[in-house]
Structure 1
Amino acid sequence: MIRHATTADFEFIFELYMHPAINPWLLYEPMDAVHFQPIFQELLERKVLYVFEVAEIPVGMCKLVPEEHRSAHVLYVGGIGIHPSFAGNGYGVQLMEAIKLFADAEGYRRLELSVAAINEKAMHVYEKAGFLKEGILRKYTYQKAEDRYLDEVMMSCLL
Protein backbone atom coordinates (compact mmCIF):
# COMPACT_ATOMS: atom_id res chain seq x y z
CA MET A 1 0.00 0.00 0.00
CA ILE A 2 1.17 3.53 -0.69
CA ARG A 3 0.10 6.54 1.33
CA HIS A 4 1.01 10.21 1.45
CA ALA A 5 4.06 10.88 3.58
CA THR A 6 3.60 12.91 6.75
CA THR A 7 5.95 14.88 8.99
CA ALA A 8 6.22 11.72 11.13
CA ASP A 9 7.97 9.99 8.19
CA PHE A 10 10.95 12.38 8.13
CA GLU A 11 13.48 10.00 9.71
CA PHE A 12 12.53 7.10 7.44
CA ILE A 13 12.54 9.23 4.26
CA PHE A 14 15.80 10.96 5.20
CA GLU A 15 17.47 7.61 5.90
CA LEU A 16 16.37 6.28 2.52
CA TYR A 17 17.45 9.34 0.54
CA MET A 18 20.85 9.46 2.23
CA HIS A 19 21.55 5.73 2.44
CA PRO A 20 24.81 5.03 0.58
CA ALA A 21 23.24 2.16 -1.38
CA ILE A 22 20.29 4.31 -2.53
CA ASN A 23 21.51 7.91 -2.68
CA PRO A 24 23.57 7.59 -5.89
CA TRP A 25 20.39 6.78 -7.82
CA LEU A 26 18.24 9.61 -6.44
CA LEU A 27 18.00 13.35 -7.06
CA TYR A 28 19.69 14.88 -4.02
CA GLU A 29 23.36 14.97 -3.12
CA PRO A 30 24.28 13.61 0.33
CA MET A 31 23.45 16.10 3.09
CA ASP A 32 22.61 16.26 6.76
CA ALA A 33 19.10 16.29 8.19
CA VAL A 34 19.10 20.07 8.71
CA HIS A 35 19.66 20.68 4.99
CA PHE A 36 17.23 17.96 3.92
CA GLN A 37 14.38 19.31 6.08
CA PRO A 38 13.32 22.11 3.66
CA ILE A 39 13.36 19.66 0.73
CA PHE A 40 11.20 17.25 2.71
CA GLN A 41 8.83 20.06 3.68
CA GLU A 42 8.44 21.15 0.05
CA LEU A 43 7.67 17.58 -1.05
CA LEU A 44 5.02 17.34 1.68
CA GLU A 45 3.47 20.66 0.65
CA ARG A 46 3.35 19.59 -2.99
CA LYS A 47 1.74 16.28 -1.87
CA VAL A 48 4.03 14.23 -4.12
CA LEU A 49 5.88 12.14 -1.53
CA TYR A 50 4.57 8.66 -0.69
CA VAL A 51 5.51 5.88 1.72
CA PHE A 52 5.16 2.24 0.70
CA GLU A 53 4.05 0.04 3.60
CA VAL A 54 3.75 -3.69 4.06
CA ALA A 55 1.65 -4.75 7.08
CA GLU A 56 1.79 -1.10 8.21
CA ILE A 57 5.61 -1.15 8.27
CA PRO A 58 7.39 1.45 6.10
CA VAL A 59 9.41 -0.42 3.50
CA GLY A 60 9.98 2.11 0.73
CA MET A 61 9.10 5.43 -0.82
CA CYS A 62 8.39 7.19 -4.10
CA LYS A 63 7.45 10.56 -5.54
CA LEU A 64 4.39 10.72 -7.80
CA VAL A 65 4.37 13.99 -9.75
CA PRO A 66 1.38 14.72 -11.99
CA GLU A 67 1.90 16.44 -15.31
CA GLU A 68 -0.47 19.20 -16.46
CA HIS A 69 -2.57 20.38 -19.39
CA ARG A 70 -2.31 18.09 -22.43
CA SER A 71 -0.09 15.78 -20.43
CA ALA A 72 -2.46 15.60 -17.44
CA HIS A 73 -2.90 11.87 -18.04
CA VAL A 74 0.82 11.35 -17.24
CA LEU A 75 2.22 10.64 -13.79
CA TYR A 76 5.99 10.92 -13.31
CA VAL A 77 7.40 8.36 -10.85
CA GLY A 78 10.61 9.35 -9.06
CA GLY A 79 12.49 8.98 -5.81
CA ILE A 80 11.87 5.24 -5.83
CA GLY A 81 13.57 3.38 -3.01
CA ILE A 82 13.18 0.24 -0.95
CA HIS A 83 14.99 0.25 2.38
CA PRO A 84 18.07 -2.02 2.03
CA SER A 85 16.97 -4.10 5.04
CA PHE A 86 13.97 -5.21 2.93
CA ALA A 87 15.87 -5.72 -0.34
CA GLY A 88 15.60 -8.99 -2.21
CA ASN A 89 12.05 -9.81 -1.10
CA GLY A 90 10.14 -8.62 -4.17
CA TYR A 91 9.07 -5.33 -2.58
CA GLY A 92 10.35 -3.27 -5.52
CA VAL A 93 7.90 -4.93 -7.90
CA GLN A 94 5.16 -4.72 -5.25
CA LEU A 95 5.80 -0.98 -4.92
CA MET A 96 5.59 -0.51 -8.69
CA GLU A 97 2.34 -2.50 -8.82
CA ALA A 98 0.91 -0.38 -5.99
CA ILE A 99 1.85 2.75 -7.94
CA LYS A 100 0.09 1.39 -11.03
CA LEU A 101 -3.09 0.66 -9.03
CA PHE A 102 -3.03 4.12 -7.47
CA ALA A 103 -2.43 5.81 -10.82
CA ASP A 104 -5.21 3.87 -12.53
CA ALA A 105 -7.67 4.71 -9.75
CA GLU A 106 -6.73 8.40 -10.10
CA GLY A 107 -7.33 8.33 -13.87
CA TYR A 108 -3.74 8.43 -15.11
CA ARG A 109 -3.02 6.52 -18.31
CA ARG A 110 0.76 6.77 -18.56
CA LEU A 111 3.48 6.37 -15.96
CA GLU A 112 7.01 7.44 -16.75
CA LEU A 113 10.34 7.45 -14.99
CA SER A 114 14.03 7.73 -15.68
CA VAL A 115 16.71 5.46 -14.30
CA ALA A 116 20.51 5.61 -14.48
CA ALA A 117 21.63 3.54 -17.45
CA ILE A 118 24.08 1.67 -15.19
CA ASN A 119 21.38 0.80 -12.62
CA GLU A 120 20.53 -2.58 -14.14
CA LYS A 121 18.90 -3.88 -10.95
CA ALA A 122 16.32 -1.08 -10.96
CA MET A 123 15.66 -1.45 -14.70
CA HIS A 124 14.99 -5.14 -14.16
CA VAL A 125 12.43 -4.35 -11.44
CA TYR A 126 10.70 -1.77 -13.64
CA GLU A 127 10.58 -4.16 -16.59
CA LYS A 128 9.08 -6.87 -14.35
CA ALA A 129 6.36 -4.34 -13.44
CA GLY A 130 5.56 -3.70 -17.11
CA PHE A 131 7.67 -0.64 -17.90
CA LEU A 132 9.36 -0.42 -21.31
CA LYS A 133 12.50 1.46 -22.32
CA GLU A 134 11.78 4.43 -24.57
CA GLY A 135 15.08 6.22 -24.99
CA ILE A 136 18.28 7.58 -23.52
CA LEU A 137 18.86 10.99 -21.97
CA ARG A 138 22.58 11.49 -22.48
CA LYS A 139 24.61 12.87 -19.55
CA TYR A 140 21.35 13.70 -17.80
CA THR A 141 22.40 13.31 -14.17
CA TYR A 142 25.49 14.84 -12.58
CA GLN A 143 26.83 13.16 -9.47
CA LYS A 144 28.87 15.83 -7.75
CA ALA A 145 30.51 13.46 -5.25
CA GLU A 146 31.73 11.26 -8.13
CA ASP A 147 32.30 14.17 -10.53
CA ARG A 148 30.58 12.23 -13.30
CA TYR A 149 27.61 12.43 -15.59
CA LEU A 150 25.26 9.50 -16.06
CA ASP A 151 22.97 8.68 -18.94
CA GLU A 152 19.36 8.02 -17.94
CA VAL A 153 16.99 5.54 -19.56
CA MET A 154 13.44 6.82 -20.03
CA MET A 155 10.85 4.15 -19.27
CA SER A 156 7.06 4.15 -19.33
CA CYS A 157 4.07 1.98 -18.60
CA LEU A 158 0.71 2.52 -20.27
CA LEU A 159 -2.34 1.75 -18.14
Structure 2
Amino acid sequence: MRRPALPTDLKHVFSIYSHPAVVPYLTYDPMEESAFVPIFDELLRSGTFWIWELDGAIAGFYRTTRYPGRVSHVAQLGTLAVDPRLHGRGVGRAMIDDAIRHLRSDGIRRVELYAESDNQPALAFYKRLGFVHEGTLRAFYKRSHEAHYVDEYVLGLLLD
Protein backbone atom coordinates (compact mmCIF):
# COMPACT_ATOMS: atom_id res chain seq x y z
CA MET A 1 0.00 0.00 0.00
CA ARG A 2 1.24 3.47 -0.93
CA ARG A 3 1.49 6.32 1.52
CA PRO A 4 3.40 9.60 1.68
CA ALA A 5 6.85 9.37 3.23
CA LEU A 6 7.15 10.60 6.82
CA PRO A 7 10.15 11.93 8.76
CA THR A 8 10.04 8.76 10.87
CA ASP A 9 10.80 6.70 7.75
CA LEU A 10 14.41 7.92 7.54
CA LYS A 11 16.12 4.84 9.01
CA HIS A 12 14.11 2.36 6.95
CA VAL A 13 14.52 4.31 3.72
CA PHE A 14 18.24 4.71 4.37
CA SER A 15 18.67 0.99 5.05
CA ILE A 16 17.13 0.14 1.65
CA TYR A 17 18.82 3.00 -0.21
CA SER A 18 22.26 2.10 1.14
CA HIS A 19 21.95 -1.66 0.66
CA PRO A 20 24.78 -3.00 -1.57
CA ALA A 21 22.24 -4.41 -4.05
CA VAL A 22 20.44 -1.05 -4.36
CA VAL A 23 22.89 1.82 -3.93
CA PRO A 24 24.81 1.24 -7.20
CA TYR A 25 21.64 2.14 -9.13
CA LEU A 26 20.49 5.21 -7.23
CA THR A 27 21.84 8.74 -7.50
CA TYR A 28 24.35 8.85 -4.65
CA ASP A 29 27.37 6.83 -3.67
CA PRO A 30 27.36 5.05 -0.29
CA MET A 31 27.34 7.43 2.66
CA GLU A 32 26.68 7.62 6.36
CA GLU A 33 23.10 8.11 7.50
CA SER A 34 23.90 11.64 8.70
CA ALA A 35 24.93 12.61 5.16
CA PHE A 36 21.70 11.11 3.81
CA VAL A 37 19.48 13.31 6.02
CA PRO A 38 19.48 16.36 3.67
CA ILE A 39 18.70 14.11 0.70
CA PHE A 40 15.83 12.51 2.58
CA ASP A 41 14.58 15.93 3.74
CA GLU A 42 14.46 17.11 0.12
CA LEU A 43 12.50 14.00 -0.85
CA LEU A 44 10.03 14.73 1.95
CA ARG A 45 9.68 18.39 0.93
CA SER A 46 8.86 17.35 -2.64
CA GLY A 47 5.55 15.90 -1.48
CA THR A 48 5.96 13.27 -4.19
CA PHE A 49 8.04 10.66 -2.38
CA TRP A 50 5.99 7.56 -1.68
CA ILE A 51 6.52 4.66 0.69
CA TRP A 52 5.24 1.22 -0.25
CA GLU A 53 4.23 -0.89 2.73
CA LEU A 54 3.69 -4.61 2.82
CA ASP A 55 2.29 -6.22 5.97
CA GLY A 56 2.92 -2.99 7.91
CA ALA A 57 6.61 -2.75 6.99
CA ILE A 58 8.39 -0.57 4.42
CA ALA A 59 8.95 -2.71 1.35
CA GLY A 60 10.11 0.01 -1.04
CA PHE A 61 9.74 3.58 -2.22
CA TYR A 62 9.57 5.78 -5.28
CA ARG A 63 9.22 9.38 -6.34
CA THR A 64 7.04 10.89 -9.04
CA THR A 65 7.80 14.27 -10.58
CA ARG A 66 5.35 15.95 -12.91
CA TYR A 67 6.83 18.28 -15.48
CA PRO A 68 5.40 21.82 -15.86
CA GLY A 69 3.87 23.72 -18.77
CA ARG A 70 3.57 22.06 -22.15
CA VAL A 71 4.84 18.79 -20.74
CA SER A 72 2.51 18.71 -17.73
CA HIS A 73 1.09 15.46 -19.11
CA VAL A 74 4.48 13.79 -18.43
CA ALA A 75 5.80 12.44 -15.14
CA GLN A 76 9.15 11.01 -14.22
CA LEU A 77 9.32 7.96 -12.00
CA GLY A 78 12.51 7.74 -9.99
CA THR A 79 14.26 7.04 -6.70
CA LEU A 80 12.63 3.65 -7.02
CA ALA A 81 13.86 0.78 -4.87
CA VAL A 82 12.55 -2.39 -3.27
CA ASP A 83 13.95 -3.94 -0.11
CA PRO A 84 16.36 -6.58 -1.49
CA ARG A 85 14.91 -9.17 0.90
CA LEU A 86 11.68 -8.87 -1.14
CA HIS A 87 13.14 -8.99 -4.64
CA GLY A 88 11.29 -11.39 -6.89
CA ARG A 89 8.05 -11.25 -4.89
CA GLY A 90 6.11 -8.80 -7.03
CA VAL A 91 6.69 -5.73 -4.85
CA GLY A 92 8.26 -3.66 -7.65
CA ARG A 93 5.45 -4.60 -10.01
CA ALA A 94 2.81 -3.68 -7.44
CA MET A 95 4.51 -0.34 -6.72
CA ILE A 96 4.80 0.63 -10.37
CA ASP A 97 1.28 -0.52 -11.20
CA ASP A 98 0.00 1.60 -8.32
CA ALA A 99 2.13 4.59 -9.34
CA ILE A 100 0.84 4.38 -12.91
CA ARG A 101 -2.75 4.11 -11.71
CA HIS A 102 -2.33 7.30 -9.63
CA LEU A 103 -0.48 9.11 -12.41
CA ARG A 104 -3.15 8.17 -14.95
CA SER A 105 -5.89 9.46 -12.62
CA ASP A 106 -3.92 12.73 -12.34
CA GLY A 107 -4.02 13.16 -16.12
CA ILE A 108 -0.54 11.85 -16.89
CA ARG A 109 -0.25 10.38 -20.39
CA ARG A 110 3.47 9.60 -20.43
CA VAL A 111 5.75 8.15 -17.75
CA GLU A 112 9.49 8.13 -18.11
CA LEU A 113 12.37 6.86 -16.06
CA TYR A 114 16.12 6.46 -16.25
CA ALA A 115 18.00 3.21 -15.78
CA GLU A 116 21.70 2.45 -15.96
CA SER A 117 22.73 0.46 -19.01
CA ASP A 118 24.46 -2.10 -16.77
CA ASN A 119 21.36 -2.78 -14.68
CA GLN A 120 20.09 -5.64 -16.81
CA PRO A 121 17.54 -7.00 -14.29
CA ALA A 122 15.86 -3.57 -14.05
CA LEU A 123 15.91 -3.05 -17.81
CA ALA A 124 14.28 -6.44 -18.40
CA PHE A 125 11.72 -5.68 -15.69
CA TYR A 126 10.79 -2.29 -17.18
CA LYS A 127 10.54 -3.85 -20.65
CA ARG A 128 8.06 -6.43 -19.31
CA LEU A 129 5.99 -3.51 -17.96
CA GLY A 130 5.86 -1.93 -21.41
CA PHE A 131 8.58 0.72 -21.07
CA VAL A 132 10.48 1.39 -24.30
CA HIS A 133 14.14 2.40 -24.60
CA GLU A 134 13.90 5.86 -26.16
CA GLY A 135 17.41 7.19 -25.83
CA THR A 136 20.84 6.95 -24.32
CA LEU A 137 22.62 9.53 -22.19
CA ARG A 138 26.19 8.55 -22.97
CA ALA A 139 28.73 8.39 -20.12
CA PHE A 140 26.09 9.92 -17.82
CA TYR A 141 26.55 7.94 -14.63
CA LYS A 142 29.75 7.61 -12.55
CA ARG A 143 30.13 5.48 -9.45
CA SER A 144 33.01 6.70 -7.29
CA HIS A 145 34.56 3.24 -6.94
CA GLU A 146 34.64 2.57 -10.70
CA ALA A 147 37.01 4.09 -13.24
CA HIS A 148 34.51 4.07 -16.09
CA TYR A 149 31.33 5.96 -16.85
CA VAL A 150 28.03 4.20 -17.47
CA ASP A 151 25.41 5.10 -20.06
CA GLU A 152 21.95 5.94 -18.75
CA TYR A 153 18.90 4.82 -20.71
CA VAL A 154 15.79 6.92 -21.03
CA LEU A 155 12.71 4.69 -20.92
CA GLY A 156 9.19 5.81 -21.71
CA LEU A 157 5.69 4.42 -21.32
CA LEU A 158 2.68 5.95 -23.04
CA LEU A 159 -0.55 5.61 -21.09
CA ASP A 160 -3.83 5.12 -22.93
Calculate the TM-score normalised by the size of structure 2: 0.94
Structure 1 residue 89 displacement after superposition = 0.9
Structure-1 separation of matches of 2:73 and 2:87: 31
Q: Which residue of 1 aligns with 2:95?
A: 95
Q: What SS class does the counterpart of residue 50 from structure 2 fall into?
A: strand
Matches within 5 A, 1:6-17: 6-17=6-17
Secondary structure in structure 2 of the residue aligned to 1:143: coil
**3-state SS of paired residue (1:81):** strand
* Equivalent residues of 1:96, 1:126 under 8 A apart: no
1:106-141, Cα deviation, whole Å (9 max, x unpaired) = 111110001011111001111122211111111111
Is 1:43 the counterpart of 2:40? The answer is: no
Structure 1 stretches of 4+ with a deviation exceeding 4 A read: none
Q: Identity over aligned residues, as a percent?
A: 32
Question: 1:148 is paired with a residue of what secondary structure?
Answer: coil
1:154 equivalent in alignment to 2:158 = no
The Cα shift of 1:19 comes to 0.7
Which residue in 2 is equivalent to 1:66?
A: 66
Q: What displacement does 1:71 show?
A: 1.0
* Higher deviation after alignment, 22-31 or 45-54: 45-54
Q: Secondary structure at the match of 1:138?
A: strand
Unaligned stretches of 5+ in structure 2? none
TM-score, length basis structure 1: 0.94
Counterpart contact for 1:116–1:150, Cα < 8 Å:
yes
Gaps of 5+ in 1: none
**RMSD (Å) for aligned C-alpha atoms:** 1.2
